[in-house]
A and B are shown apart, each in its own frame.
Chain A
Amino acid sequence: MQEEIASHARDISRALGGKVSEKEIENELNNYLNVYRVSLDTAKRSIVRKHGGDPTGLQLGVSKTIKELIPGEQSVDMLCRIVSVDGRQIDVEGGAKDILYGILGDQTGTVPFTAWVVEGLDLHKGDVVRVRNAYTKEFRGQVQVNFGNRTTLAKESADALPPYEPGKGSVPRGPPTPMKVVDLKEGSSNVSLIVRVLDVEKREVQVNGDAKTVFSGTFADETGKVKFSAWKDFSISPSDTLKIEGGYVKAWRGIPQFSFDERSAVSKLEASTLPTVEELEKSPRVWIEDLAERGGAIDVVVRGIVIDIKEGSGLVYRCPECKRVLRKMACRIHGEVQGTPDLRVKAVVDDGSGALIAVLGKELTEGLLGKTLEACITEAKENMSQEVVRDQLADLLVAQPVEVRGNVTSDDYGLMMIVDGAKILKVDVEQEARAMLEELEGLEDTA
């Protein structure tokens, strides 16, 4: 460690143009690390700044294994293998840009990466590379490694790291854990599930450059529905009742999705094991607090009260290129454009256990307002304000109990439902109150 400190001290001294002695810096660095216990990276940057230097002049990053990576590292070195690599074009301000993305692996794990500068970069699957000055960010709860301007990559010999074995460490061990659909959470592995197939389709997909066949569709049990992907042909057909052992759960925008492959066992069960397809196709009613714990779900019903109508509701104009909602008649990406009108609602629905943003599209919004998009445009023109439609929606919906149905996703801003069906809720308050009171009094009598 002390040897490593010395080389970092040398790096700091170099970044400062040699105006402070290595010995002095080494003492200072030890002080930061052992007395103040800040991270090596922070310590180095702080020392350079303290002496009036520029921390980007630092060259020697902190070497870490993939397991040790945390989000927000500004300069990290790693020795890793390219598990997969692929290129694509992205739209950025000022036109298209090529990037590379893929997965890095070492003996401790794997991590996704993105290379933002591809000129002179020649990466191939299986290469072992020494990465210097990469940085990390968090994306949907996962660490991501980024290669930027300052990052350098050097190829090492293939035996500098033990060869990567796909799936190593994730092979099902011991008996699988039986779960219901409602219990599936991102990261669950070696799961056993009893479900009915609602629909299934065969698709060809590209996985890291290789063509693969996947069978995907929807499963359901009495607790809910889940999307699945089978990476092997288990000859699944609609309405089959199946027991799947050794599956695992990944998440897409927070929604748990069930996957299984050649390491899983699939067996057909008696149809009577689960309710009928019609029964299972109904959308279960859920509490928002449970959705928050699950991360999301497909096709669920939520009952709650609209407690706010968010900005950007009502009459909006969208970019004809990318469909983004325009702000001040300009698109974030395409600048000033002739927008296409649309209607939508972004409502905060709260059921007392949690809150979500419910997004309603044009048809549902027209239905709630009882008038068409064209009528709204005319009204907005008459009133010289787009906001008039939002105000009407607020009058109509705020403090109103509603029932909404759809898929619920989540991100850093919380839960969002893309609403497929919405209705104003009418509840027989008297009947429910009587049932609750009878239950309470029943308890008292027996007590």
Chain B
Amino acid sequence: MNRETAWRVFAGEYNDSTLDMSDGGERSPTYVVTPLGAKVNRLFVVGVLTDMENVGTEQGPMWRGRITDPTGTFHIYAGQFQPAAAAAMSKLKPPVFAAVSGKSRVYKPDSGATYVSIRPEIVKVVDANLRDYWVLESCQSLKKRLEAAREAYQMNPPTVGELLKLGCSSSLSAGLVAAVAHYGNVDLSRYSSMLAESLRYLLPEFQESRPPETEEVIKVEEKVAEKAPEKGADDQLEADILALIEQLDKDGKGASWDAILEGAKKHKVDRDKLEELVNVLLDKGLVYEPVLGRMKKI
């Protein structure tokens, strides 16, 4: 009985998962299988904990946190059955760099949608260096799976035996065969650009496109602001978007992302720019995301 591997998987790939499986047998573990065949029972993620909330009760707390990486957001939930992780989470003050190891969870409501999350075992505050190291590891891991998926798509249908012969691990071979059976041949360009984007994220020459996340990045922006007068324009846009979000929040549940995007066009703000601005607002604590895809002014 080998310990389950802690996969390094980007949120962008993990959240695309709609397949869960077990190897059969009563006590065999369950896995979330990503479109690229990572068979995830345990994962290790490092990112920015952007918000944290007790969605349970005072007596029976259930902590929900969001951790963002360069590709998306992990959702983590810790309650009374994860006492150590829940205690650690309750002490965190977002935004902060956090490392989490935990178990993959799947929630499939009747609507037919699939939500994957993480049930943490260990939560720890870390620094930007570790986040960068994790992004690198996750890139290496993603690259391996991309290459294996390209090979698998050449086979019709792929088999565990053939993939093993190509040097894939037994876990990835089994995962890819299950993934191809469930997802079919997915568009790999989404994941190859995810890989390239994440690598650029680590390089200073591409830092311009780095989505702002934390006080560290805000500091960088302050420096930029000193020598770049157009920064003032950004401040104006931030104020405009904030006003827009407030205006669109008609029912008190927050403004939907699509509506904000539509409204932002008037300010000549495209999708990328809008994401950047909203992230700044999130970091400044001026807005928050009550549910996925909705923004609300605080």
Determine whether the beta carbon of A307 is less than 8 Å from that of B122. yes
What residues of chain A lie closer than 8 Å to B130, measured between beta carbons?
399-401
Is B137 part of the binding interface, using a Cβ–Cβ cutoff of 8 Å? yes
0/1 interface trace, chain B 155-198, chain A, CB 8 Å (1 if under): 00000000000000111000000000000000000001001100
What residues of chain A lie closer than 8 Å to B171, measured between beta carbons?
289
Determine whether the beta carbon of B2 is less than 8 Å from that of A414. yes
What residues of chain A lie closer than 8 Å to B233, measured between beta carbons?
none
Look across to chain B and name the residue whose beta carbon is closest to the beta carbon of A290.
B169
A221 to chain B, nearest CB (A): 19
What residues of chain A lie closer than 8 Å to B202, measured between beta carbons?
429-430, 433
Cβ 8 A contact of B133, one of A348, A427, A434, A441: A427
Determine whether the beta carbon of A399 is less than 8 Å from that of B124. yes
Determine whether the beta carbon of B169 is less than 8 Å from that of A355. no
Look across to chain B and name the residue whose beta carbon is closest to the beta carbon of A441.
B196
Determine whether the beta carbon of A353 is less than 8 Å from that of B5. yes
With known contacts A352-B141, A401-B133, A433–B203 Cβ distance under 8 A: yes
What residues of chain A lie closer than 8 Å to B132, measured between beta carbons?
429
Determine whether the beta carbon of A413 is less than 8 Å from that of B1. yes
Is B232 part of the binding interface, using a Cβ–Cβ cutoff of 8 Å? no
Determine whether the beta carbon of B2 is less than 8 Å from that of A307. no
* A433 vs B131: C-alpha distance when bound (angstroms): 13
Is A106 part of the binding interface, using a Cβ–Cβ cutoff of 8 Å? no
* A350 vs B200: C-alpha distance when bound (angstroms): 25
* A353 vs B139: C-alpha distance when bound (angstroms): 13
Cβ 8 A contact of A289, one of B140, B169, B192: B169
Say which size band chain A's interface belongs to. 20 to 34
Q: Which residues of chain A in 296-328 are interfacial with respect to chain B, using CB atoms and an 8 Å cutoff?
A: 305, 307-308
Determine whether the beta carbon of A440 is less than 8 Å from that of B133. no
What residues of chain B lie closer than 8 Å to A436, measured between beta carbons?
139-140, 143, 199
The A contact surface, by secondary structure, is mixed
Determine whether the beta carbon of A433 is less than 8 Å from that of B199. yes
Determine whether the beta carbon of A355 is less than 8 Å from that of B6. yes
What residues of chain B lie closer than 8 Å to A356, measured between beta carbons?
3
Determine whether the beta carbon of A307 is less than 8 Å from that of B140. no
Cβ 8 A contact of A292, one of B2, B140, B195: B2
Is B60 part of the binding interface, using a Cβ–Cβ cutoff of 8 Å? no
Determine whether the beta carbon of A412 is less than 8 Å from that of B1. yes
List 22 A–B pairs whose Cβ atoms lie within 8 Å, in order of A's numbering.
A289-B5, A289-B169, A292-B2, A305-B6, A305-B137, A308-B121, A350-B5, A355-B2, A355-B6, A356-B3, A399-B46, A399-B130, A401-B130, A401-B133, A429-B133, A432-B136, A433-B136, A433-B139, A436-B140, A437-B196, A437-B200, A440-B199
Q: Chain B: residues with CB nearer than 8 A to chain A?
A: 1-8, 44, 46, 99, 101, 121-122, 124, 126, 129-130, 132-133, 135-137, 139-141, 143, 169-171, 192, 195-196, 199-200, 202-204
